[in-house]
Amino acid sequence: MNVLVYLIPASLLLGGLGLAAFYWALKHGQFDDPDGDSQRFLSRDYDDKPKED
Amino acid sequence: MPDAPHMSACPACVAAPSAEQVARARREAEKEGARIMLSLPTAHCAACISAVEHGLEAVPGVRSARVNLTLKRASVDADAGVTAEQLIEVLKGIGYEAHELDASSLSMTETDRQGRALLMRLAVAGFAMMNVMLLSVAVWSGASDATRDLFHWISGIIALPAIVYSAQPFFAKAWSALRVRRLNMDVPISLAIILAAGLSIYETSQSGENAYFDAALSLTFFLLGGRYLDYRTRRVARSAAEELAALEVPRAQLVSGETVPVSELAAGDLVRVLPGSRVPVDGVIVEGHSELDRSLLTGESLPVAAGPETVVSAGEVNLTGPLTVRVTAAGKDSSLHRMADLVAVAETSRNRYTSLADKAASIYAPVVHLLALFAFIGWYMATGDARLSINIAVATLIITCPCALGLAVPAVATAASGRLFRAGLLVKNGTALERLAEVDTVVFDKTGTLTMGEPEADDLSRHGREELAVARALAEASAHPLSRALAAAIAAMGTAPADVEDIREVPGHGVEGRYRGRQVRLGRAEWLGVRAVTGTATYMQLGEGPAMAFTFTDSLREGAKEAVEELRKMGLDMILLSGDSPEAVAAVARKVGIEAWEAQVLPADKAARIAVLARSGRKVLMVGDGLNDTAALASAHASISPASALEAARVVSDIVLLGRSLTPIAEAVQVARAATRRIKENFAIAALYNAVSIPVALAGFATPLAAALAMSFSSICVSLNAMRLIRR
């Protein structure tokens, strides 16, 4: 059972990383135009990030 | 036109900025000249994105252009010299309809703080739920004693802060309902979350077997999901309502040449109204001759002659000559606002409509609380064990699961309004879809709704080539709608304009010139001294010869016929009510295929006709665009107006058609019916699920595992059922 000592913090850390990544994406406008983003990859224009606002 | 009437059909419209704010902001924005926002109602695919972006970026002075397909908008970064009109022309050239939006009034929706906060709460609840679930799985699969207690404690440490942060929207709403001694869905939700968390802490401290941290969190997570969907649906409607408000800025030009907001005008001021613009105030003409298009106010398709002493109303369009108008009433006192009072009275009936969600909540909340109370009392009397009784009562509260109910309506509403938005319809009101689904009669307005409000010249082949050539030359000299339609029709036949000299427009009468030494005139019957024929017509006279008439009919709006046909197939009755002359109304009714029609209906009578229909048990859908339809739109069971409608009409409508075509109306009714069916199915799923789970919980067999499974299962069921709406 000693394995729990680092497995539980590890699982919390990984979850926390996911949350932080989500927070970053939210702040940087990744969810501003979901419909457009799903279509844009079909276009030939170089376009890898949403427009800065 | 006067400032935005303060008659709000929904909270979204209250949030929309007032017209004055918009005007002020626009004046500031014009100085900087940096960003232009365009609404693109027809953009829908990857090809549209590139076409629009490349098209805009090719315009000199445009630094960058970006399309947002979700909001159907383009934002353009450009030098100060570039105007929105220029860009709209460019887009029209490549086949996209575009409207200018007021960038400064939209900035509020672009940074959507509330939505992001809600999404963040959702993420925190989800993160905490997954971690706690991980620990709970260990407990369910047999962890015991100290290990179980440790896991429970860790769960508690994650769950409590997460709940305090994430569930705030529910607590706040429940509290505001309780303060006025009412029950809403948030009360049982908050109670379930708080009791589940509280009981779990107590059980953990007592080394108890069951802790409901995961249930409290998944409850929060699923319900926040529903709340977010709900919020997003309303946000799209709200931002679009702002867009529509940003389309028109009420300003007036004073005789001195200065341009001022209409709200700053006072009775007695002299205002100049140029040809082609809307009369901004009620007043009396003091100088100038022209013709006025009153179709938005009265539904008449024929322009009316106007000269000194003619009384004009805000909303009429000046057609031919410049006018000077003495203001008799501006802003709040104008006829537009008086119409608003009519609307305010009519609206109350619609506000009384109780949505399905409210009906469900009003049954659900008391039943659940009573059940939990009975469970506690029953078990306490039977066993005398307070801890066991509380455990069972809380399990009952958790497992009756408001999740499915909380998701049942928002998930369907989101799917339905998303699909309608893609079809070019904007659902503004929360209960609009439910009301639209009940509709059995459709009342159409004619001018501007079934027709474009633009005349089309009738068969010209009976006129000689020379006559047509002269007519084209004269017609091209005027901006009058009949002249433009005539010139376009002759040009389409390939007849070149004749060599007419000294062409001169006589405001309010027509155009005259000299052709081969003879005087030629094109204009009103009275001006030429001939007898008018029935219907819309303009007349031409060559020299002293007999006058000839060019007749016109109003061209049908795109998709009008198809929409009527589809609606008939669905078994709806249709009526055409118009303020126009009987001949014009009969012609349109015949063209689109509506049998029942009435002409020369006054604005108040339209609303009265709808009231009569309502009293006879009909649920009426009103489709209209003018000021004369506004009261009828507000008093009907459901209402739709095209985007070209007067602002007052759009404000009171439940649904706004963003494109030009009418065909989406039939789809709107179909989707509304399907959506209501799905909502009822979802309630049935929730009820069925409760019928199974409540006895289990009351009998004391509900474990945290069973609660978690049941909750997820029912939530996913209702969400999937709602998803079926997205595609046909």
Residue with tokens 């589809």: B566
Look at B592 and B354; give whichever has higher pLDDT: B592
Please, are residues B282 and B332 in contact by the beta-carbon 8 Å criterion? no
Look at B549 and B257; give whichever has higher pLDDT: B549
pLDDT tens column, B183-217: 777 888 888 889 889 989 998 998 888 888 988 89
Rounded percentage of chain B residues whose pLDDT exceeds 90: 9
The DSSP annotation for B695-713 comes to HHHHTT---HHHHHHHHHH
What local confidence, expressed as pLDDT, does residue B672 receive? 92
What local confidence, expressed as pLDDT, does residue B728 receive? 54
Domains defined along chain B, listed by start: 266-329 (2.70.150.10), 428-449+557-672 (3.40.50.1000), 453-555 (3.40.1110.10)
**pLDDT above 80 for B659:** no
Kindly indicate the confidence band of residue A1, based on its pLDDT and cuts at 50, 70 and 90: low
The DSSP annotation for B365-383 comes to HHHHHHHHHHHHHHHHHHH
**What mean pLDDT comes out for the span B76-89?**
81
**What mean pLDDT comes out for the span B345-371?**
72
List CB contacts (< 8 A) between A43 and chain B: 46, 49-50
pLDDT tens column, B462-485: 788 888 888 888 888 877 778 888
Q: Residue B620 pairs with which residues in a beta bridge?
A: B441
Whether residues A45 and B158 touch (CB distance < 8 A) is answered with: no
**pLDDT above 70 for A52:** no
What local confidence, expressed as pLDDT, does residue B511 receive? 87
pLDDT tens column, B661-679: 888 899 899 999 999 999 8
Probe site for chain A from B63, B131, B229, B235 (most A CB atoms < 10 A): B131
pLDDT tens column, B502-529: 888 887 788 888 888 888 888 888 788 8
Q: Residue B66 pairs with which residues in a beta bridge?
A: B75
**What mean pLDDT comes out for the span B360-384?**
87
Between β-strands B441-444 and B620-623, what pairing exists: parallel, antiparallel or unpaired?
A: parallel
Rounded percentage of chain A residues whose pLDDT exceeds 70: 79
- Report how far apart the first and last C-alpha atoms of chain B are (Å, whole number): 42
Q: How far is CA B466 from the centre of its chain?
A: 49
Strands (E), B140-183: none
- In angstroms, the CA B702 to CA B401 distance is 13
- In angstroms, the CA B712 to CA B219 distance is 9
Three-class SS of residue B63? strand
Whether residues A43 and B46 touch (CB distance < 8 A) is answered with: yes
Instruction: Find the CB nearest B127 among A18, A27, A36.
Output: A18
Three-class SS of residue B257? coil
pTM: 0.71
Kindly indicate the confidence band of residue B111, based on its pLDDT and cuts at 50, 70 and 90: low
Beta carbons within 10 angstroms of residue B542's beta carbon: 19
Phi-psi region of B653 (alpha: psi -120 to 50; beta: other; left: phi over 0): beta
List CB contacts (< 8 A) between A53 and chain B: 110-111
B68 touches chain A (CB under 8 A): yes
CB under 8 Å to B291, separation ≥6 — which residues?
Answer: B303, B304, B305, B306, B319, B320, B480, B508, B524
- In angstroms, the CA B491 to CA B539 distance is 18
Question: For B636-703, where are the alpha helices, taking DSSP H only?
Answer: 647-652, 664-698
What local confidence, expressed as pLDDT, does residue B8 receive? 36
B130 touches chain A (CB under 8 A): yes
pLDDT tens column, B115-148: 888 889 999 999 999 889 888 888 888 877 888 8
The DSSP annotation for B306-324 comes to E-TT-EE-TT-EE-SS-EE
Burial class of residue B179 in the structure, from the number of CB atoms within 10 Å of its CB (0-12 exposed, 13-18 middle, 19+ buried): exposed
Whether residues B71 and A33 touch (CB distance < 8 A) is answered with: yes
**pLDDT above 60 for B107:** no
User: Lowest-confidence range among B19-33, B87-101, B449-463, B682-696?
Assistant: B19-33
What local confidence, expressed as pLDDT, does residue B16 receive? 40
User: Lowest-confidence range among B13-22, B236-245, B324-333, B394-403?
Assistant: B13-22
Residue numbers of B between 17 and 46 with CB closer than 8 Å to A: 45-46
Nearest Cα neighbor of B485 from B278, B301, B644, B306 is B301
- In angstroms, the CA B620 to CA B165 distance is 45
Nearest Cα neighbor of B449 from B662, B692, B211 is B662
Please, are residues B253 and B271 in contact by the beta-carbon 8 Å criterion? yes
**pLDDT above 50 for B680:** yes
- Range with the largest mean pLDDT of B478-482, B496-500, B620-624: B620-624
What local confidence, expressed as pLDDT, does residue B226 receive? 85
Look at B231 and B568; give whichever has higher pLDDT: B568
State the Cα angle at B163 between A29 and A9, rounded to 5°: 80
Mean pLDDT, all residues of chain B: 80
State the Cα angle at B400 between B397 and B404, rounded to 5°: 130
**pLDDT above 80 for B285:** yes
User: Lowest-confidence range among B74-83, B183-192, B342-351, B526-535?
Assistant: B342-351
Q: Provide the shortest C-alpha distance from residue B219 to chain A (in Å).
A: 19
Structure tokens of B128?
Answer: 């905490």
**What mean pLDDT comes out for the span B575-585?**
84
Beta carbons within 10 angstroms of residue B274's beta carbon: 11
- In angstroms, the CA B626 to CA B645 distance is 6
What local confidence, expressed as pLDDT, does residue A21 receive? 92
- In angstroms, the CA B297 to CA B649 distance is 11
- In angstroms, the CA B96 to CA A22 distance is 35
Instruction: Find the CB nearest A40 among B49, B120, B147.
Output: B49
Catalytic residue list of B = 445
Burial class of residue B598 in the structure, from the number of CB atoms within 10 Å of its CB (0-12 exposed, 13-18 middle, 19+ buried): middle
How many A-B residue pairs are in contact by the CB < 8 A criterion? 58
- In angstroms, the CA B229 to CA B234 distance is 9
Look at B640 and B238; give whichever has higher pLDDT: B640
> Which residue in A has a C-alpha nearest to residue B151's C-alpha?
A8
* Count of helices and strands (H, E) across chain A: 2, 0
What local confidence, expressed as pLDDT, does residue A53 receive? 44
Instruction: Find the CB nearest B154 among A8, A26, A42.
Output: A8
- In angstroms, the CA B424 to CA B658 distance is 5
**pLDDT above 80 for B67:** yes
Look at B649 and B671; give whichever has higher pLDDT: B671
What local confidence, expressed as pLDDT, does residue B457 receive? 81
Instruction: Find the CB nearest B134 among A11, A34, A40.
Output: A11
B235 touches chain A (CB under 8 A): no
Instruction: Find the CB nearest A40 among B46, B147, B158.
Output: B46
List CB contacts (< 8 A) between B143 and chain A: none
Kindly indicate the confidence band of residue B343, based on its pLDDT and cuts at 50, 70 and 90: low
Residue numbers of A between 1 and 53 with CB closer than 8 Å to B: 1, 4, 8, 11-12, 15-16, 18-19, 22-23, 26-27, 31-36, 39-40, 42-45, 51, 53
Strands (E), B265-399: 270-273, 282-287, 290-293, 304-306, 311-312, 317-318, 323-329
What local confidence, expressed as pLDDT, does residue B18 receive? 46
Please, are residues B607 and B586 in contact by the beta-carbon 8 Å criterion? no
pLDDT tens column, B390-446: 888 888 888 876 777 778 888 888 888 888 887 888 887 778 888 899 999 999 988
Structure tokens of B242?
Answer: 């702002």
Q: Provide the shortest C-alpha distance from residue A2 to chain B (in Å).
A: 11
**pLDDT above 70 for B110:** no
Whether residues B158 and A26 touch (CB distance < 8 A) is answered with: no
CB under 8 Å to B532, separation ≥6 — which residues?
Answer: B525, B526
Q: Provide the shortest C-alpha distance from residue A19 to chain B (in Å).
A: 7
> Which residue in B has a C-alpha nearest to residue A16's C-alpha?
B127
Structure tokens of B392?
Answer: 């069972």
Q: Is the dihedral of CA B530, B534, B538, B542 positive or negative?
A: negative
Look at B250 and B500; give whichever has higher pLDDT: B500
Instruction: Find the CB nearest B50 among A1, A15, A45.
Output: A45
Residue B281: CA count within 13 A, CB half-sphere: 31
Whether residues B46 and A33 touch (CB distance < 8 A) is answered with: no
Residue with tokens 């009351």: B698
**pLDDT above 90 for B163:** yes
